[in-house]
């Protein structure tokens, strides 16, 4: 069997080194994040984020890197989800306590004076069937894509509740600059739940970075308003 090339071996070694460092510090870092949140409580539930600083980021070559990660524990306490669809789909969404807007909004204003631009700013995640997604004007689709808000595809026969569960447990990371930020939980979660989510995200991102020869400079975790805790 051929020996791995030096670069592959180095990358593997770097990942193992990072994972080992994280394993040693993770529990204490999580406790520090939660303690800071308890000492200075906010009027909202703070999100816990993983931040990864890259050493050799190339804006031209690496700007399109992204990925979706399914987590075992819902990271955000509240996630503003909106369904874009026909009347039946909107009615079903409302039966699940979801916000919904009619697909006629893609043509301009609704009867209530809503515009898609305002709707995009209001919600974090959108769901729609493929036929509805195809109706989205190109300039609007480009704007939604830049904000990471292109609709999640909802199968026409797919139970909306099952898709909602998938959406709530999935986080997306994008390499848009030398810093990657990914939500991994919230301050109401247990240390064990946070650790499980963080470990899954780190392993997934490290695998992606290795494929593109990107090197991690540092890694921190923090709550929305709290100080960063260094993992690596």
Q: Is a pLDDT exceeding 90 seen at residue 113?
A: no
* Predicted confidence band of residue 69 (pLDDT cuts 50, 70, 90): very high
- Is 191 strand, coil or helix? helix
Task: Please report the pLDDT score of residue 148 as a whole number.
Answer: 86
When pLDDT is averaged across residues 37-59 and rounded to a whole number, the result is 94
Residues 205, 78 contacting (CB under 8 angstroms): no
Who has greater pLDDT, 60 or 83? 83
Integer Cα distance of 198 and 1 in angstroms? 35
- Is 144 strand, coil or helix? helix
Q: Is a pLDDT exceeding 60 seen at residue 12?
A: no
* Predicted confidence band of residue 13 (pLDDT cuts 50, 70, 90): low
Per-residue pLDDT tens digits for 117-155: 889 999 999 999 999 999 999 988 988 988 889 999 999
- Give me the phi and psi of 48, to 5 degrees please: -100, 130
Q: Is a pLDDT exceeding 50 seen at residue 2?
A: no
DSSP state string for 24-68:
HHHHHHHHHHHHHHHHS--SS-PEEEEEEEESS--HHHHTT-EEE
Per-residue pLDDT tens digits for 158-190: 999 999 999 999 999 988 788 999 999 999 999
Task: Please report the pLDDT score of residue 1 as a whole number.
Answer: 45
CA 35, chain centre distance (Å): 24
Q: Is a pLDDT exceeding 80 seen at residue 6?
A: no
- Give me the phi and psi of 88, to 5 degrees please: -65, -40
Query: Which segments of the chain are extended strands (E)?
Result: 47-54, 66-70, 81-85, 99-102, 125-128, 152-153, 170-174, 179-186, 216-223, 229-230
Say what percent of the chain tops pLDDT 90: 71
When pLDDT is averaged across residues 194-207 and rounded to a whole number, the result is 98
Closest CA to 189 of 164, 209, 169: 169
Integer Cα distance of 135 and 132 in angstroms? 5
Integer Cα distance of 151 and 207 in angstroms? 26
Which of 182-186, 199-203, 211-215, 218-222 bottoms out in mean pLDDT, i.e. has the lowest?
211-215
Report pTM.
0.83
Domains of the chain, each with CATH number or no CATH: 6-75+169-230 (3.30.190.20), 81-168 (3.40.50.790)
């Amino acid at each position: 069997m051929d020996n791995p090339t030096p670069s592959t071996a180095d990358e593997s070694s770097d990942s193992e080194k990072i994972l080992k460092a994280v394993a040693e510090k993770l529990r204490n870092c999580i406790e520090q994040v939660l303690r800071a949140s308890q000492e200075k409580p906010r009027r909202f539930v703070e999100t816990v984020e993983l931040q990864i600083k890259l050493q050799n980021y190339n804006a031209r070559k690496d700007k399109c890197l992204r990925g979706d990660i399914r987590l075992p524990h819902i990271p955000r306490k509240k996630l503003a989800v909106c369904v874009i669809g026909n009347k039946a789909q909107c009615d079903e969404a409302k039966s699940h306590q979801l916000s919904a807007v009619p697909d006629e909004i893609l043509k301009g204003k609704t009867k209530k004076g809503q515009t898609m631009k305002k709707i995009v700013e209001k919600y974090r995640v959108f769901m729609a069937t493929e036929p509805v997604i195809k109706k989205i004007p190109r300039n609007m689709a480009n704007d939604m894509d830049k904000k990471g808000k292109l609709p999640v595809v909802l199968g026409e026969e797919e139970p909306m509740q099952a898709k909602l569960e998938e959406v709530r447990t999935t986080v997306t990371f994008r390499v848009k600059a030398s810093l990657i930020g990914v939500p991994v939980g919230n301050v109401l979660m247990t240390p064990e739940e946070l650790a499980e989510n963080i470990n899954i995200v780190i392993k997934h991102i490290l695998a992606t970075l290795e494929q593109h020869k990107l090197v991690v400079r540092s890694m921190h975790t923090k709550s929305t308003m709290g100080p960063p805790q260094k993992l690596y």
